[in-house]
C-alpha cells in the first residue's frame, strides 16, 4: 500500500486532481519542521491552540454529515467520528496543551485566526449548499492528509524532533483506521449516488473543486502556523 | 404542447415515475370539485387558509434554493420566485380571503394542519439533507401540478363553478410562465450536474423518490381540504 | 422527585405550558395499552417499525444539535446522544424487531407514515429555522415524555403485559440518566442565553409553542400507532 | 440624524460595542482612498471583482434570512433584499465592471480570496448555527457600514476622485432607504424576541460578538483590497 492509497478509487482521483497543491500541503515547511524538529516551539503551540478551535468546528461539520447521510452506514460512520472528535480527540488536545503549560481556559479563549475560520466555515457551507458528497469532498483533505503526513514523517524523521508524539498520533493504528473507514465510506457513498463512472460526470468537477479548495485552505492553515510562530504566543 | 410538457426532458421522467400517484393528485376529487363547482364553499375556504400557511413555508423552501444554487442563473430564478411568492402571491391570497370574509388576522392565526406541516417540512428537509436537485425534486410537484390542473380545468369546467378565479390564476399566462421558467431551470440544473443520461444513475432514483413522496403529500393536502370542509371553519 | 421533575426549572415550565396536550400524550390509549397489555400486538409491531424510521431522523436532529451548540459541553452531550442513538439504540431496535420476526431488511423498507414524517421534519426545521434552544424545545417532549411514561408504567402495569421489556427500557437507569443529562443541559442552555427570567421574554412563547407543537405531534404518533394496529402489518 | 443613526436603538448598541474596530472599518485607508482619489485603480478593480463574488454569497445569506424569518414582515424584507441583490445589484456590478473593461466572464472566473471567503461563510454559518438575530447581527456591519461610509464620503470627498459613482451609490436615497428598512426590521426583530432590555441578557453578548467579528472581517476585506492592488489584476 502506498502512502496515499486510502481508497484506491475515487479518493485517489480527488487527490490527483489537487496536483501540486496537494504536495504543497503534505510537504509544507511546517510539516518538514515537525519531522526534522526545526519547527519553533512557539509555532507549534500556537498551531495547537488554533487546532483546538478547528476541531470544534470540524466536529460540527462531521455532525452535519449525520444530518445529510443517505444510509444508516453513513450515519454510523459520521456519528462515531463526531463522538470521537468531541468526546475524545478534543480532550487529548487539552492534555497535550496542558503538558505545554496551556490551560483549558486559555484554549477556550483562543482567538480564531482568519485562515482557521475560512477553512472550517467553507467546509460547513459545503454541507449546507451541497449534499453529502460535497461535504465529504471538503472534509477529505484534512482526514486523509493528516494520515499521509503521519505516515511520511513516521518513515522519515529526525530522531531528535520534539514532535514525535504528534507524529505517532497520526501515523498510529487508531488514526490510520479512521482513514480507512472514511475512505471506504467515501468510495461507497460516491458509487451509491453516481455509479461506477462518477469521474465522467459534470458533478465530479464540482466535487474536485471543493476538494482542491479545502486543500488550499489546509496550506493556508500551515502558513498561519508559521506566521503565528513568528508573533509569539 | 401537451398538458404535462413543461420541460419535455427530466421533468417528464419524474412525472412518469410518479405514475398513478400523479393522477391521484391532479385528478383528485377536490380538483374535480373546483371544476364542476361541487366543492363545498367551506372546504375551499379552509383550503385557502391552509394554503396561506403553506405559501409561507413554501417560500422558505424556495429561499433555501437561493442558498443552494450552483450558478447565478439558478439564483436569479429562485430569488425571483421567492420575491413573487412573498411580496405578491401571499398578498393575492390575503385579498381573495378578504373577499370571502376571512381577515388577514384570521389567516395569520390559522392552525397549521399536520398534512400541511408534513408537506412543507419534507420539502425543506430535502433541501437541508440533499443538494439543489433534491430540493427542486421536492418543489416540482406543487409548481407543475398546479399548472397542469389549471390548464385541465380551464379546458374543462362547469360554466357555473364559483371557482373560476382560482382556475384563471393557475391557467393564466403569468403562472404558466413561472412553470416554463422553472422547468427550464430544472432541465439545465440536472444536466449541469449529472449530464445527459442522469436517469441511468443511482442518483436519479433518489430524486424520483423525493418527487413521488412530494406528490403523495400533495394528495394528502387535497384530502385534508375535503376533511376540513366537513368540519366547518 | 416527582415523575416530571427532570430539571425542575425551565423544563417544568415548558411541560406545564403544554397543559392538557401533555396529558393526552403521556396518558394516551396506546400508552395505557402498553401498561395493561391490551395493546394489540399488530399495533405494537407497526409502531416499532415506524419508530425505527423515527430514530433515524431523530438522530439527524440531535446531530443538528452539535452543529448549533454554543459550548463544548453542549456539543459533548449532543454528540454522545447521537452516537448512542445511531450506534446503539437503533441496533437495539433491530434486535427487538428480529425477536418479533421483523428482519432488518423489512425495517429498512418501512414506509414512513405522514404522522411520523411530520414530527421529525418539524423538529429538524426547528433547528434550521431557529437556534439551539428552538431545536431543544422541539426535541424535549420525546426525550422527557418517554422517561415519564417509562416511570409511570413501571409503577403501575399489569403483571401480564407482554410489553415489559419496553417499559424496562424507558424506566431503566440508562434512559433515566439520559433524561437527567439532557434536562441539565437544557436548563443551562436557556440560562446561558436568556438568563434567569427567560419565561418573561417574548422568546419564551416561541419556545413554548415549539414544545407544545412537538407534544401534539407525539399524540399524533400514538394515534398513528393505533390506526396502524387496525390495518395489519 | 447622525451618520450612524440607522435605528437609534439596538443597532446603535451593536455599533458601539464594536468600538475601535468599527472606526477601523468605516475609516479604513481603502475608504479614505476612495474619497480623496488616492486609491490605485488596480486596487479598486480587484475589489470590484472580489465584491462580485461577495455579493453572490451575501445574497445566499440574505436568502437564509427568509428561511429563518419569524414573521411575514421579516420574510418580506429579506425576500425583497435577496431579489434586489440578485436581480439588480449584481447586474449593476456587471455594468460597472464592463465599463472598466472587465467582462462578465472574467467576473465569473474571479478567484475568491481567503478574506472574502472567510467573511461570507462566517455570515452563512451564523445563520446555520444561530437564529434570525444571529444572522442579522452578522449581516448588519456590511449593510450599515456601507451606508455610513457612503454618507461620510458624500459629505467629504475630493472633487477629482474617480470613485464618485461608488460614493453616489451608497450615499444615494435607494441605498439609504435599504439601511432604514433593515434597521427598522432589526429593531423590531430584537424586540419581538428579547423584549425591551435585550442588552441585559447574556444573549446580547453573543449577538455583539457576531457583529464585532463581522466588522473585523470587513476590515480584512479592505485590507485584501489594498493587498490585491499591489499585485496587479
CB–CB contact C117 B114 (8 Å): no
pLDDT digits (tens, 9 = 90+) for B106-145: 998 999 999 999 999 999 999 999 999 999 999 999 999 9
> What pLDDT sits at residue C232?
62
Put simply, whether D60 touches A (Cβ < 8 Å) is: yes
Q: Tell me how far the alpha carbon of residue B83 is from its chain's centroid.
A: 16
Residues in C touching A87 (Cβ below 8 Å): 76, 79-80, 83
pTM of the model: 0.96
Helix axes D114-129, D132-155, angle to 10 degrees: 140
In this prediction, residue D111 carries a pLDDT of: 95
What is each CA distance from D132 to A70, C92, D68, in whole angstroms? Answer: 28, 38, 5
More confident residue, C62 or C108: C62
State the pLDDT at residue A19: 96
Distance CA A185, CA D26 (A): 48
In order along its 233 residues, chain D shows pLDDT tens digits of 444 567 679 999 999 999 999 999 999 999 999 999 999 999 999 999 999 999 999 999 999 999 999 999 999 999 999 999 998 889 888 998 999 899 999 998 999 999 999 999 999 999 999 999 999 999 999 999 999 999 999 999 999 999 999 999 999 999 999 999 999 999 999 999 999 999 999 999 999 999 999 999 999 999 999 999 887 65
What class has domain C46-145+169-231? Answer: mainly alpha
Question: CA-CA distance, D84 to B210, in Å (whole number)?
Answer: 31
CB distance B68–A128 less than 8 Å? yes
Whether residue C125 and residue B122 make contact (CB cut-off 8 A), yes or no, is no
CB neighbours (10 Å) of residue A32?
Answer: 15
> Exposed, middle or buried: residue C101 (CB in 10 Å: 0-12, 13-18, 19+)?
exposed
Grid cell 393575492 is found at B92
- pLDDT score of C5 more than 70: no
3-state secondary structure of D160: coil
A35 pLDDT higher than 80 = yes
* Cell numbers found for residue B76: 436569479
Residue B5: what pLDDT? 64
CA–CA dist D132, C187 (Å, integer): 22
Q: What is the largest CA-CA distance in chain C?
A: 52
Place of cell 421483523: C102
Are C87 and A67 inside 8 Å of each other by CB?
no
Fold of the CATH domain B14-231? Heme Oxygenase; Chain A (1.20.910)
The answer, yes or no, to whether residue B156 has pLDDT greater than 60, is: yes
Q: What is the DSSP letter of A2?
A: -
8 Å CB contact of A86 and C79: yes
Classify residue A223 as exposed, middle or buried by CB count within 10 Å of its CB (0-12, 13-18, 19+): middle
Instruction: Identify the chains in contact with A, defined as 3+ C-beta pairs within 8 A.
Output: B, C, D
Residue C59 above 90 pLDDT?
Answer: yes
CATH of domain D10-231: 1.20.910.10
Q: Do A86 and C75 touch (CB under 8 A)?
A: yes
* B231 Cα to chain A: minimum distance (Å): 38
Least confident among A104-108, B208-212, C191-195: A104-108
Q: Is B194 on the interface with A (CB under 8 A)?
A: yes
Residue D117's pLDDT is what? 98
How many CB atoms sit inside 10 A of residue D111's CB? 9
Q: Are residues A153 and A167 in contact, defined by beta-carbon separation less than 8 angstroms?
A: yes
**A187: which 3 cell numbers?**
468510495
- Using a CB–CB cutoff of 8 Å, tell me whether D83 touches chain B: yes
* The pLDDT value given to residue D3: 46
For chain C, the C-alpha Rg in angstroms (whole number) is 17
Distance, CA of C84 to CA of C78 (rounded, Å): 10
Q: CA C153 to CA C159: how far, in whole Å?
A: 11
Domain boundaries, chain D: 10-231
Kindly give, in sequence order, each residue whose CB lies less than 8 Å from that of residue A111, ignoring residues fewer than 6 positions away.
none
Cell of A31: 510539516
Asked if B63's CB is within 8 angstroms of D86's CB, the reply is no
Q: Average pLDDT of A33-60?
A: 96
% of chain A surpassing 90 pLDDT: 89
Chain D interface, best mutation among A63, A121, A127, A128, by max D CB count within 10 A: A121
Neighbours of A76 (CB within 10 A): 20
What does each C-alpha distance from A68 to A75, B131, B135, B214, C57 come to in angstroms?
8, 10, 13, 19, 10
Residue for cell digits 431503566?
A: C172
A4 pLDDT band (50/70/90 cuts)?
A: low
Give the span between the Cα atoms of C44 and C162, in whole angstroms. 10
Does residue A156 contact residue D153 with C-beta atoms inside 8 Å? no
State the pLDDT at residue B85.
92
Question: What are the C-alpha distances in Å from C190 to residues C14, C133, D126, D131?
Answer: 12, 7, 19, 14
How far, in Å, CA of B194 to CA of B210, rounded?
17
**Residue C92 contacts A where some CB pair is shorter than 8 Å:** no
For residues D159 and D43, what is the distance between their CA atoms, to the nearest angstrom? 20
Of B182, B203, B192, B184, the closest CA to residue B81 belongs to B182
Asked whether the predicted pLDDT for residue A8 surpasses 80, the reply is no
Nearest neighbour of A118 by CB, restricted to D60, D121, D128: D121
| CA dist., res. D71 & res. D74, Å (int) | 5
* C76 close to C185: Cβ distance less than 8 angstroms: no
Neighbouring C-beta atoms of residue D26, cutoff 10 Å: 25
Which residue of chain B has the CA closest to A191?
B202
Q: Vertex A207, ends A203 and A213: CA angle to 5°?
A: 145
Q: What is the dihedral of CA C11, C14, C15, C19, to 10 degrees?
A: 170
Q: Please state which of the ranges A95-99, B35-39, D181-185 shows the lowest mean pLDDT.
A: A95-99
Inter-chain residue contact A131 with B128, CB threshold 8 Å? no
* Mean pLDDT calculated for residue range B11-32: 97
Alpha helix ranges (H) inside chain D = 10-26, 29-36, 41-68, 72-84, 90-99, 104-108, 114-129, 132-155, 164-171, 173-194, 202-231
Q: Which subunits count as partners of chain C given 3+ CB pairs below 8 Å?
A: A, B, D
Q: Which of C192, A187, A192 is nearest to D202 (CA)?
A: C192
- Mean pLDDT across C101-122: 95
Listing DSSP states for C74-117 in one string gives HHHHHHHHHHHIIIIIHHHHHHHHHHTT--HHHHHTPPPPHHHH
* Contact by Cβ (8 Å): A18, A215: yes
pLDDT tens per residue, range A126-182: 999 999 999 999 999 999 999 999 999 999 999 999 999 999 999 999 999 999 999
Identify the DSSP state of D39: S
pLDDT of residue A233: 55
- Find, in chain C, the residue whose alpha carbon is nearest to that of D66: C129
Identify the closest residue of chain C to A68 by CA–CA distance. C60
| Sign of the alpha-carbon dihedral angle for D129, B56, B210, C117 | positive
Residues on chain C touching D191 (C-beta within 8 angstroms): 202
Specify the DSSP class assigned to residue C71: S
* Residue A2 Cα distances to A147, A148, A185, angstroms: 12, 10, 19
Query: In chain C, what residues touch D130 (CB-CB under 8 Å)?
Result: 68, 131
Residues of D in Cβ contact (< 8 Å) with C196 = none
Query: What does each C-alpha distance from B139 to A84, B213, C192 come to in angstroms?
Result: 37, 11, 38
Amino acid at each position: 500500500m502506498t502512502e496515499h492509497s486510502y481508497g484506491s478509487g475515487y479518493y485517489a482521483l480527488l487527490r490527483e486532481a489537487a496536483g501540486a497543491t496537494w504536495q504543497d500541503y503534505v510537504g509544507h515547511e511546517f510539516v518538514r519542521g515537525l519531522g526534522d524538529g526545526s519547527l519553533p516551539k512557539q509555532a507549534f503551540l500556537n498551531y495547537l491552540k488554533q487546532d483546538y478551535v478547528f476541531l470544534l468546528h470540524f466536529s460540527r461539520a462531521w455532525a452535519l454529515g449525520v444530518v445529510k447521510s443517505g444510509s444508516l452506514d453513513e450515519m454510523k460512520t459520521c456519528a462515531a467520528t463526531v463522538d470521537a472528535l468531541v468526546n475524545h480527540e478534543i480532550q487529548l488536545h487539552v492534555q497535550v496543551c496542558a503538558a505545554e503549560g496551556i490551560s483549558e481556559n486559555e484554549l477556550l479563549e483562543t482567538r480564531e485566526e482568519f485562515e482557521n475560520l475560512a477553512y472550517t466555515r467553507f467546509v460547513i457551507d459545503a454541507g449546507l449548499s451541497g449534499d453529502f458528497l460535497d461535504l465529504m469532498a471538503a472534509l477529505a483533505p484534512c482526514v486523509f492528509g493528516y494520515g499521509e503526513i503521519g505516515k511520511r514523517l513516521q518513515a522519515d524523521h529526525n530522531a531528535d524532533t520534539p514532535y514525535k508524539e504528534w507524529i505517532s498520533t497520526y501515523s498510529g493504528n487508531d488514526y490510520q483506521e479512521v482513514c480507512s473507514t472514511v475512505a471506504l465510506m467515501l468510495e461507497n457513498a460516491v458509487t451509491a449516488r453516481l455509479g461506477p463512472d462518477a469521474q465522467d460526470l459534470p458533478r465530479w468537477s464540482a466535487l474536485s473543486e471543493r476538494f482542491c479548495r479545502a486543500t488550499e485552505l489546509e496550506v493556508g492553515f500551515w502558513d498561519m502556523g508559521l506566521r503565528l510562530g513568528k508573533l509569539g504566543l
